[in-house]
Structure 1
Amino acid sequence: MLKKENILLVDDDIQILELLQRHLTSMHYHTYSAVSVKEALYILKDTAIDLLITDINMPDINGIQLIKYMAEHYPDIPKLVVTGFPSIDDAMSVIKSGATEYITKPFTKSELADAVQKSLECTQHRKSKEKVFPKAQQGYGEMIGTSEAFKEVVEIIERVKDNHATILVQGESGTGKELVARSIHYSGKFARAPFIAVNCGAIPENLLEAELFGYTKGAFTGAFETRNGFFQAANNGTIFLDEIGNASLAVQGKLLRVLQEKEVTKVGSQKSEKLNVRVIAATNSSLTELIEKKLFREDLYYRLTVVSISVPPLRERISDIPMLVSKFLQKYGVEYKDRLVGIAPDALEILERYPWPGNIRELENVIQRAVIMSDGQVTVKHLPEQVKFQIDFPEQALKPLKQVEKEYIEKVLVATGNNKTKAAEILQIDRKTLREKLK
């Protein structure tokens, strides 16, 4: 009678697969076989596997990459490496990659049995049981970081915080451009004055002008009263214009007048109002490219860039990731768990390695979800698939028909445990034809 453990075997050598299959079946284990890493991943998606046994040296994608992939995507499955090319470097490499056991060919049945037993007893990588709790956070205002790229931004903030110079904050989406604007305002001598944030991309184009500069009663359909705009609300303080590149050319013209004359005119009015407002604009797009396409005014661009701040993407602030993780662990640990939440070292290593195309916003979302899914400690299994190790499969080269047929017959034989009668049925040929092809 077969044991409950399912063992996945991965080796491009059909004879080794058959040998492993025969030995493990005699030990009452249930086995699945794959002749490539790609085939193994297909099996893993749909099958509950208790142990992986893989070779190292295989064409296209090797066993080391499979071990790394499984260590992050299937951290609870133990991994046993069987190889015919033993070396100290190989041994160190597979152990660091997440392998549980390592044996070399040729091996005896008893050696295999011992290695399988030890591997099944080790159900989780040791590092995942360790905890790292949030460290003291360092930064500036609400911003967190100590990296050189972060310090360069802070240095510019220190120089502009006490004057009303117009500032353009540039950076990829999710890098914290609004936090930079808030730090400029609230760290300076105008901190008690209003700070008004406006997302120019979230307001319909036909309403943006009225929302920014206000309007008079009857200026347009639905204008039942005279109202001030965001600029009037920000008088003597700071207005933050996020996604300035989305403003229409008409609104850009009005903004230029505000910056030049220090005054605004309500929609439907002929009378201008003097204002004292510091303008901080932000964009994640290239304004110079928009200028070339005649979508952004060049004269407004120069008015906005009296001071320019480039906020670095998170991939250029790798050393700041642990502190940012700590900040979000504390925030969501208290919000969802009412306690401090820790993180496993191997999970933190994955977060430090990932390039974060969505920047800090993406990191915060990942930590928020992980805290919700965890029971007091964030581990590898609580992280989303996209941040973990990925295997890039090379494009399949075109092959002769005979080679494709040979590989498929081998695949069917492995799947059937070398049962030629069953393989012939699947291939819809008779046993004699199969024997001829195998020659």
Structure 2
Amino acid sequence: MKLKKENILIVDDDINILELLQRHLQSWNYHTYKAISVKEAVTILRDTHIDLLITDLKMPEIGGFELIKFVSEHYPKLPKLVVTGYPSVQESLTAIKSGVVEYLTKPFTKDELRAAIDKSFTEKTKGESSEIHAERNGGMKDEIKKDNVYGEIIGKSEKINNIIQTIERVKDNKATIFVRGESGTGKELVARAIHYQGKFSRAPFIAVNCGGIPENLLESELFGYTKGAFTGADKERDGFFQAANGGTIFLDEIGNASTSVQSRLLRVLQEKEVVKVGAQKAEKIDVRIIAATNSDLKEMIKKGTFREDLFYRLTVVEIIVAPLRDRKEDISLLVDKFLFKYGIEYKDRFVKISPETLSVLLRYDWPGNIRELENVIQRAVIMCDKVIKIEHLPDSLKFNIEFPKDKLLPLKEIEKRYIQKVLNATDNNKTKAAEILGIDRKTIRQKLLE
């Protein structure tokens, strides 16, 4: 008898239930895969196209709810059917909220199982149709929100409000400011806000990435050089400090500066003057210095790689930019900003984001901070049509199951599991499986029964 095209994965730690479900499904011409644990189920899902998941909830080590969460985010279009011998109202509500189509209580009749499977496939078709409808009617252009915006800083969290209050106090004077925070938190945006929101906004703003300039060139790039100061110096040239005269210089990753650069920088702070490389005469300069780093400068001071006197000169006012994981209430505002930004950049590709997808973004800890969030949104805008859904997010953001370490098993059990894996891969074709395993069909049956 010809099998239907649908593949159904059954997950239950009770072998008898697995066999019963498989017999029923095969009698309706479905192709089945069996797993006695969530770990086995995840392996099958990664290796095989599955059209319906049928799972128990109560299983040892990792339960069915973990599997449902995993499937909901990694395989969002896969319908899910729960069968359980321990029913509860709370569990059924949780299962339905997780996207489970039907919830069967053991024991159930063959007809009840058939009806639940039919409903699962019907709901899948309806879901796909509604998605197409939503995409056709979605993607309208939204105006970017102006609330909770200060310069280029966006946020409504207490931590952002504290930064803005500090900026308001320092923006109209030229006190030296030190901005500390992890990579990708927006330290340069803070520096730009200090400059452009204040009365010196018409003066130059020069941003220098000290980590991006080779150590042997940083000194001459910052302070300038005279003709003949070194090989290749065929004319006198001003540095970034001269270019920023009257305005603001932002020294990002200041921890990368050599001891020689640190000494010269200390002189700028103390004497308000710059000496070009190769020159004897100092030039007076009027520059506000904003420095930033994600390094631990106090630890560097202990190791002797950063000058303690320079550290205290740089930290007249210190602004700490919190990581994104500590101000998650700002994520939805940042998402709106990036949707608008890339909607314009990719020529009217204004898309929306589903509530389920946004909830995944709110749950994630963002080790790469705002820069990582922007990259994720940019990629999703490119990959989606009208609505960003969970499948448009990288797997690293989705729910993942932490499996306990494998127990040491008897050789017979390992052999049995591998035979079952080969059978699954060959659509339960024992002749083909025997050929791959290098044994006969009779041996396969014997080893599975052992």
Once residues 428 and 391 of structure 1 are traced to their aligned partners in structure 2, the CA distance between those partners, rounded to angstroms, is 35
TM-score by length of 2: 0.91
Distance change in 2, residues 1:30/1:367 (3 Å): same
Letter of the aligned partner of 2:355 in structure 1? P
SS at structure 1 position matched to 2:212? coil
Q: Kindly report which structure 2 residues correspond to 1:202-351, keeping only aligned pairs within 5 A, or say none.
A: 202-351=212-361
Shift of 1:330: 0.6
Cross-structure match for 2:72: 71
Cross-structure match for 2:412: 405
Shift of 1:360: 0.3
Cross-structure match for 2:188: 178
Cross-structure match for 1:159: 169
Letter of the aligned partner of 1:58 in structure 2? M
Shift of 1:214: 0.1
Letter of the aligned partner of 1:39 in structure 2? E
Once residues 130 and 72 of structure 2 are traced to their aligned partners in structure 1, the CA distance between those partners, rounded to angstroms, is 11
Cα pair 1:127 1:345 within 8 Å, conserved: no
Cross-structure match for 2:34: 33
Cα pair 1:214 1:267 within 8 Å, conserved: yes
Tell me which moved more, 177-186 or 80-89: 80-89
Once residues 390 and 433 of structure 1 are traced to their aligned partners in structure 2, the CA distance between those partners, rounded to angstroms, is 34
Give CA deviations for 1:16-71 in whole Å, capped at 9, x if unaligned.
11111111111111111112112212211221111111111112211101111111
Cα pair 1:75 1:125 within 8 Å, conserved: no
Percent identity between the two aligned chains: 62
Shift of 1:108: 1.1
Shift of 1:122: 2.1
Cα pair 1:314 1:356 within 8 Å, conserved: yes
Distance change in 2, residues 1:178/1:8 (3 Å): same
Cross-structure match for 1:7: 8
Once residues 309 and 411 of structure 1 are traced to their aligned partners in structure 2, the CA distance between those partners, rounded to angstroms, is 58
Letter of the aligned partner of 2:416 in structure 1? I
Letter of the aligned partner of 1:70 in structure 2? V
Give CA deviations for 1:56-105 in whole Å, capped at 9, x if unaligned.
11122111011111111110111111111111111112122222221111
Give CA deviations for 1:226-256 in whole Å, capped at 9, x if unaligned.
0000000000100000000000111101101
Cα pair 1:140 1:154 within 8 Å, conserved: yes
Once residues 414 and 207 of structure 2 are traced to their aligned partners in structure 1, the CA distance between those partners, rounded to angstroms, is 62
Once residues 113 and 334 of structure 1 are traced to their aligned partners in structure 2, the CA distance between those partners, rounded to angstroms, is 49
Cross-structure match for 1:104: 105
Tell me which moved more, 145-154 or 41-50: 41-50
Distance change in 2, residues 1:299/1:109 (3 Å): same
Shift of 1:410: 6.0
Cα pair 1:127 1:344 within 8 Å, conserved: no
Once residues 436 and 120 of structure 1 are traced to their aligned partners in structure 2, the CA distance between those partners, rounded to angstroms, is 35
SS at structure 1 position matched to 2:160? helix
Letter of the aligned partner of 2:215 in structure 1? E
Letter of the aligned partner of 1:64 in structure 2? F
Q: Name which of 376, 388, 413 aligns with 1:378.
A: 388
Cross-structure match for 1:392: 402
Q: Kindly report which structure 2 residues correspond to 1:136-155, keeping only aligned pairs within 5 A, or say none.
A: 136-137=145-146, 138-155=148-165
Give CA deviations for 1:300-344 in whole Å, capped at 9, x if unaligned.
000000000000100111111111000000110122141421111
- Per chain length, whose mean CA-contact separation is higher, i.e. which structure has more relative contact order (CA < 8 Å, sep 6+)? 1
Shift of 1:435: 5.5
SS at structure 1 position matched to 2:346? helix
Cross-structure match for 1:82: 83
SS at structure 1 position matched to 2:82? strand
Once residues 73 and 211 of structure 1 are traced to their aligned partners in structure 2, the CA distance between those partners, rounded to angstroms, is 49
Letter of the aligned partner of 1:136 in structure 2? K
Cα pair 2:423 2:430 within 8 Å, conserved: no
SS at structure 2 position matched to 1:32? strand
Letter of the aligned partner of 1:162 in structure 2? D
Give CA deviations for 1:207-228 in whole Å, capped at 9, x if unaligned.
0000000000110011111000
Where does the alignment leave 5 or more consecutive residues of structure 1 unmatched?
Answer: none
Cα pair 1:33 1:415 within 8 Å, conserved: no
Give CA deviations for 1:117-148 in whole Å, capped at 9, x if unaligned.
11112224999759697662422111111111
Cα pair 1:127 1:346 within 8 Å, conserved: no
Letter of the aligned partner of 1:367 in structure 2? I
Distance change in 2, residues 1:219/1:13 (3 Å): same
Distance change in 2, residues 1:413/1:286 (3 Å): closer
Cα pair 2:207 2:249 within 8 Å, conserved: yes
Cα pair 2:328 2:362 within 8 Å, conserved: yes
Cα pair 2:181 2:320 within 8 Å, conserved: yes
SS at structure 2 position matched to 1:360? helix
Cα pair 1:171 1:313 within 8 Å, conserved: yes
Tell me which moved more, 104-113 or 130-139: 130-139
Once residues 204 and 238 of structure 2 are traced to their aligned partners in structure 1, the CA distance between those partners, rounded to angstroms, is 14
Letter of the aligned partner of 1:63 in structure 2? G
